[in-house]
Structure 1
Amino acid sequence: MATDLSWRPKAGDIPQQPGVYRFRDATSRVLYVGKARNLRQRLSNYFAPLATLHDRTRKMVQTAASVEWTVVANDFEALQLEYTWIKEFDPPFNVQYKDDKSYPYLAITLGDAVPRVFVTRNKGIPKARYFGPYSRAWAIRDTVDVLLKAFPMRSCSDATYKRAAQTGRPCLLGDIGKCAAPCVGRVTPEQHKSIAVDFASFMGGNDTGFVASITKKMRDAAAVQDYESAARYRDQVQAMETALEKNVVVLDDGVDADLFGIAHDELAAAVQQFIVRGGRIRGVRGWVVDKELDLELPELVESVLQNAYDEEVPPRDVFVPALPEDTPELEKWLGERRGPGHRVELRVAKRGDKAALAQTVATNAVNALILYKSKRSADFVARSQALSDIQEALGMAEAPLRMECFDVSHLSGTNIVASMVVFEDGLPRKDQYRRFSIPESADDTESIYQVLTRRLAYLTPSAQDESDDPALDGRRRKFAYPPQLLIVDGGQPQVAAAQRALEEMGVSGIQLCGIAKRLEEIWLPDSDFPVILPRNSDALFLIQRIRDEAHRFAISYQRQKRRGDIQSVLGEIPGLGPSRVKELLKHFGSVARLKAADEAAVAEVRGIGPSLASTIVERLRG
């Protein structure tokens, strides 16, 4: 591998001021856009020896043919220019966004002479005011239906409105009091627009103010015995309170804020946004991010906020899981999105109701990422393409219809276990998962060697002959079925250990590879360089999923063994070190006697006081 790039600019030619840079390929297509407080310092990171670069960064600079930069006055201008260029060029190595659905909004066309309220997924209506997005269209339609009793404005289509105006007869909504019927002149366009403005104000968070105002009018009307007006006001209050009950109160009445939750792994991230207005959740949004380059959480937050407020106006407070490095510049940029003289504050919720709600948003993000992966795994076309791509990338003669993955788990060298998970046709075969207990091992490579030796024993010629014996149980016959691809969790050392097991057991015809978690790179036996699969490819997604499943299965078994290991249980008790654990076992002579002992008996052991004895008994019996 070459250690340098022929097109690398001289370090002295790169300015040290803030600026924005663009990597281009041989066809002048923009590959990546980034910003820097010091261009020379930032770009020097890309031009380090290729072998030392992150694999995705190395792929990007090897694809590029040139880099150019633009110097700006300050960090804020760099942020603005970066945002503009990302929107203009849509670079493939920048974060790619995918909205997981088209969300419904509530729109009020305040720019029309006779405004209309309706639910739509189109946000391009001029001078319309939007509320949402909402996760369910039917839910917001129900809310609108209730609120029309309190704010009887037009909700019919333009064709229906014109027909009613021509015939002089209102539609059913006008007859039942859910429309003020401006089409037939019951109210003037100005009066109707005032109703629409009140509706928009109510949806914008001024809900409790309207309830208090209408309630006062109702009482005043009743006081002067205007019972007809009082009844009308009563119905309006009931309609507003019914609508408010549909939106859960989560924060104080005066709080307008957006809360973001982000769950991410090496390949993708799921974002959830809760929109809180007037202390109530008014909308929920979610989308998926494909990560081509490896981004930490603060960098993701910055990119997510730029995407979220591309066309939306941010509130005064925005809560995020982590503050990005350029927080002041980002707050200034968001403030300008609100309007001249406005401010936006980025915060991390640490305690109280806001922290509890932030945890809920984060939980939703985790669930959304799991759902995204599940949907992607369930796609037959994607699975078929993934198997085909794995075959091509690893140079296999046929697609790996059966894959087995092995992972090792331990706790500081104790309770060493391993797992074997099986995927057939890209889907897990949980009935064929296996667990291994390893009595003793020097390190992870030795553990891999031991486990593979035990598993491959079923694939030796003699074992294959025995597996045809109908007297053998079904579990053993399934275990003897050979995979086309054998995967180990780890890099070159783990692959070498697995290769040694294959050679010593005399098993051939099985492709071996390892996946190194930090860089998500695929290692083959006797290879100096890894196989790099595209970050958003279904092939890497499938290999990552089988590796994660093996890790989960190994961890669950290791925890199960720890619970059954008295020394591990005692070792987890604060204040109880190895010496005291040894003294306890020596004093009682057996685990059974220790578990049966009461607090007084445990407290008699040297070094164990009454408080610690109480904790030990509680833990052992719990």
Structure 2
Amino acid sequence: MADPSSYRPKPGQIPDSPGVYKFRDEHGRVIYVGKAKSLRQRLANYFQDLAGLHPRTRTMVTTAASVEWTVVTTEVEALQLEYSWIKEFDPRFNVKYRDDKSYPYLAVTLNEEFPRVQVMRGAKKKGVRYFGPYAHAWAIRETVDLMLRVFPVRTCSAGVFKRSAQIGRPCLLGYIGKCSAPCVGRIPAEEHRELAEEFCDFMAGRTGAYLRRLERRMQEAAEEMEYERAARLRDDIGALKRAMEKSAVVLADATDADLIAVAEDELEAAVQIFHVRGGRVRGQRGWVTDKVEAVTTAGLVEHALQQLYGEEQGDAVPKEVLVPALPEPVEPVAQWLSQRRGSQVSLRIPQRGDKKDLMATVGRNAQQALALHKTKRASDLTTRSRALEEIAEALGLDSVPLRIECFDISHLQGEDVVASMVVFEDGLVRKSEYRRFQIKGFEGQDDVRSMHEVIGRRFKRYLQEKQKSGEWTEEPDGATAAPVDGVVTASGEPDPADGRPVDDDGRPKRFAYPPQLVVVDGGAPQVAAARRALDELGIDDVAVCGLAKRLEEVWLPGEDDPVVLPRSSEGLYLLQRVRDEAHRFAITYQRNKRSKRLKSSPLDAVPGLGDTRRQALLKHFGSLKKLRAATVDEICAVPGVGRKTAETVAAALAGAAPSAPAVNTATGEIIEDDGAPPAALSAERGQER
């Protein structure tokens, strides 16, 4: 526990101007980001008597080891910079809204030649018109099914569209009148786009004029005695009215507004948002957060506004935002929202009438969401705290293990040996910290030796990066910090900076801070191997334990008997979640790695080219793409490859389609991890570990 006075800035050093500040821990990791109208006054509040601080604030300042700040011109700039830093560093002591699902949107891809109506999740794309979000995807599909009768816009995938165009026949929707079949030229692209734009106008709330136009056309058809057309228009009007009934009018005057309500207790808070467009509720969403900092209702509202509109522009920000409490001060937030929209945005508390009644409904939804969240065992802060305390007590630790890393080995009968490292912080998964290891030094079913190698490689990198940051002048016990090969992030790419120390080139140091507890999947042998690897590096401040699958026993280094936690123990439940997540991550990587290795390559069809020379070619050039671009003379330069073979290889690759997978330059193995294993491998999985 650090003493805040040890890093308190000197008097007069902090400027009396708007800005954003960051607290960092002893490893240089950002643990809290805040903004202030006056940096001097705000930071002074953190360096008062610890007894006078809120318990959560006291925990934060005693965890921190330094504070830094950035001066800005206005409070609006401070708000924008605070949002950017929270997204970048993901500080553990800031309010973080967590949601257990991604909400579906009704999307119209106006960026395509033939716009498509579909359900979309995830990040928004440029040129796509979105409506929602909705609570359920089936609600979108029911609405779309009703509206396709009137607006027969394409809903098929690119593959189905291309196939129908090739064979000259539309899909089923084209035959039953729910698609205008642009794939076979029944309607030109211009008319199909007009249909899509009319669909968007109707979804945006401009319904009255369109319904009146249909009714007028129906009357004209009846007067001209075209009764079939009149009946069809009558049915179209009925379908649109049924679609409109699914979202009843809640606010008069075609109001566009978002209503935000907060329900909270001492530990957690739930936020619910209703999106009202054209006076109708078009979508609903919500988040739940742990109150890891001392924050008021107004502060929760401000965080919710940042989360909701931080990535939005234009009409996605409504003209009116109704909240239960106004941020303090309110002017910078209102100005920031107006800048996001491009016009004036009203941010206020509803006082009377329909808007106040609707806000009460949103509030009841927030209360229900909080009550439901409380029933989820893994998401309860009190439960997580109790689990960490039980683990600390059972293992004899001095403090609760806030960061836990778990390692698992996976292979198939001794081949394609890989390992995984998963991270839990404060009892929650930290997927951006996950790592995968390739065990290339040997093959075989030797989990103990593999575990020793993986633990050694992980902590050698920790010592290396600790030495680079200046914390070590010499590594203990003569340990070397050699580069570690075969370590990749969960996505296969370097992860974005999240507050950890960075190298000179700006890339984050992936192993710059240690866990308090290392968990290995296995019993006494695996635990002994992990402890031996740490001892060889001179690391004695990291605890080690193992969780054996069969009896769920917890093993400690040097102990003849395991620690048996009660089956109802929250600590055992957390260790099981950590172990199971490591096993899932490892076996997924092992399956994908094996499936990529077994995929056919254009080199397989080259006569007279065996495995040895194939590997030599891939190792020499690094990838099939570079090998394909090489000349015959360059291929001849590879040891063991003659001119005739080189000519055959060049001819075979010239006639082969480009191959997408990347290749490991050291081994020639395909190492991308984003494909599903072929069906033929399913029979082998019973023998996987």
TM bucket (normalised to shorter chain) is 0.5 to 0.7
Q: Distance in 1 between matches of 2:382 and 2:133?
A: 30
CA shift at 1:11, angstroms? 2.4
Q: Is the 8 A contact 1:207 1:278 kept in 2?
A: no
Provide the rounded CA distance (Å) in 2 between the counterparts of 1:177 and 1:146: 12
Is it true that 1:216 corresponds to 2:216 in the alignment?
yes
Cα pair distance change 1:155/1:396, threshold 3 Å: closer
Cα contact 2:21–2:68 (8 A) shared by 1:
yes
| Distance across 2 between alignment mates of 1:328 and 1:305 | 14
The CA distance in 2 between the partners of 1:387 and 1:19, in whole Å, is 37
SS at match of 2:31: strand
CA distances 1:439-493 after superposition (whole Å, capped 9, x unpaired): xxxxxxxxxxxxxxxxxxxxxxxxxxxxxxxxxxxxxxxxxxxxxxxxxxxxxxx
Q: Could you tell me how far apart the structure 2 residues matched to 1:268 and 1:392 are?
A: 23
User: Superposition pairs for residues 491-506 of structure 1, below 5 Å?
Assistant: none
Deviates more, 1:98-107 or 1:268-277: 98-107
- Distance, in Å, in 2 between the alignment partners of 1:388 and 1:291 is 18
User: What's the counterpart of residue 283 of structure 2?
Assistant: 283
How far apart in 2 are the matches of 1:130 and 1:309? 15
Whether contact under 8 Å (1:11, 1:40) holds in the other structure is no
**What pairs up with 1:66-105 in 2 under 5 angstroms?**
66-105=66-105
- Maintained 8 Å contact 1:316/1:343: yes
Corresponding position of 1:368: 369
Partner SS for 1:78 = helix
| 1:323 and 2:326 correspond | yes
Of 168-177 and 40-49, deviating more is 168-177
Q: Does 1:311 align with 2:311?
A: yes
Q: Secondary structure at the match of 1:237?
A: helix
Counterpart check, 1:298 vs 2:301 = no
CA distance in 1, matches of 2:126, 2:184: 26
Partner residue in 2 for 1:235: 235
Q: Check 1:100–1:253 CA distance in 2 against 1; reply closer, same or farther (3 A cut).
A: farther
Shift of 1:125: 3.9
Does 2:404 align with 1:389?
Answer: no
Alignment-mate amino acid for residue 173 of structure 1 = L
Q: Distance in 2 between matches of 1:231 and 1:264?
A: 54
* Structure 2 Cα separation of the partners of residues 267 and 335 of structure 1: 32
Tell me by how many angstroms 1:259 deviates.
0.6
Q: Could you tell me which residue of structure 2 aligns to residue 27 of structure 1? A: 27
Instruction: List aligned pairs for 1:3-82, cutoff 5 A.
Output: 5-82=5-82
Structure 1 residues 291 and 382: alpha-carbon distance in aligned structure 2, compared to 1, 3 A threshold: closer
1:533 maps to which residue? none
Residue equivalent to 2:645:
none
Structure 1 residues 14 and 182: CA distance shift in structure 2, 3 A:
same
1:338 matched to 2:337? no
Shift in Å at residue 226 of structure 1? 3.9
The answer on whether the counterparts of 2:222 and 2:230 sit within 8 Å (CA) in structure 1 is yes
Deviation of 1:75 after TM superposition, in Å, equals 1.3
**Aligned partners of 1:150 and 1:235 also within 8 Å:** no
Contact 2:373 2:379 (8 Å CA) reproduced: no
After superposition, give the CA deviation of every residue in 1:318-376 in whole Å (9 maximum; x if it has no partner).
Answer: 1111111132111111122223xx12111111211111110010000001000000122
Contact 2:19–2:75 (Cα < 8 Å) also in 1: yes
Q: CA deviation at 1:392?
A: 6.0
**Aligned CA distance change for structure 1 residues 364 and 153 (closer, same or farther; 3 Å):** same
C-alpha separation in 2, matches of 1:81 and 1:382: 32
The verdict on how the C-alpha distance between 1:35 and 1:207 changes in structure 2, with shifts beyond 3 A counting, is: same
Question: What is the distance in 1 between the residues matched to 2:90 and 2:40?
Answer: 24
Q: 1:217 Cα deviation (Å)?
A: 2.3
State the Cα distance separating 1:391 from its structure 2 match. 4.0
**CA contact 1:3–1:50 (8 Å) conserved in 2:** no
Structure 2, unpaired ranges of 5+ = 397-569, 575-689
Higher helix share: 1
Which residue identity does 1:389 align to in structure 2? L
Kept in 2, the 8 Å contact 1:271–1:365? The answer is: yes
Tell me the equivalent position of 1:350: 351
> How far apart are residue 377 of structure 1 and its match?
7.0
Letter in 2 for 1:250: V
Deviation at 1:3, TM superposition (A): 7.4
Q: Do the aligned partners of residues 48 and 321 (structure 1) sit closer, same or farther apart at CA in structure 2, a change above 3 Å counting?
A: same
List aligned pairs for 1:598-617, cutoff 5 A: none
Q: Which moved more, 1:194-203 or 1:118-127?
A: 118-127
SS for the counterpart of 2:270 is: strand
- Whole-angstrom distance in 1 between the partners of 2:129 and 2:248: 23
2:360 aligned partner, one-letter code: Q
Counterpart amino acid of 2:335? K
Shift of 1:389: 3.3
Matched AA of 2:95: V
**What corresponds to 1:251 in structure 2?**
251
Q: Amino acid of the residue matched to residue 153 of structure 1? A: V
Deviation at 1:62, TM superposition (A): 1.5
**1:183 partnered with 2:186:** no
Does structure 2 retain, via aligned residues, the 8 Å contact 1:3–1:51?
Answer: no
Per the TM alignment, residue 280 of structure 1 is displaced from its structure 2 partner at its CA by 0.8
SS in 1 for 2:98: strand
Q: What is aligned with 1:459?
A: none
Alignment CA distance shift 1:326-1:209 (3 Å): farther
Question: Once the 2 structures are TM-superposed, how far is the Cα of residue 394 of structure 1 from its aligned partner?
Answer: 7.7
How far residue 244 of structure 1 moved from its aligned partner, in angstroms, is 0.5
Partners of 2:83 and 2:310 within 8 A in 1: no
In structure 1, list runs of 5 or more residues that go unmatched: 398-537, 543-622
Q: Which amino acid aligns with 1:202?
A: F
Identity of aligned residues (%): 55
Separation (CA, whole Å) in 1 of partners of 2:318 and 2:367:
24
Task: Supply the distance in 1 between the matched residues of 2:258 and 2:339 (Cα, whole angstroms).
Answer: 17
Does the C-alpha gap of structure 1 residues 9 and 391 become closer, same or farther in structure 2, counting only changes over 3 Å?
Answer: same
Question: Equivalents in 2 of 1:386, 1:293: separation in Å?
Answer: 16
**1:136-215 equivalences in 2 (<5 Å):** 136-215=136-215
The alpha-carbon distance between structure 1 residues 392 and 104, as it changes in their structure 2 partners (threshold 3 A), is closer
CA RMSD of aligned residues (A): 2.6
- Distance in 2 (alpha carbons) for counterparts of 1:150 and 1:4: 67
Are 1:133 and 2:133 counterparts?
Answer: yes
For each residue in 1:119-144, what CA deviation from the matched residue of structure 2 results, as whole angstroms up to 9, or x when unmatched? 12234444211111111111211110
* In structure 2, C-alpha distance between the alignment counterparts of 1:323 and 1:221, rounded to whole Å: 55
Structure 1 residue 219: deviation in Å?
2.2
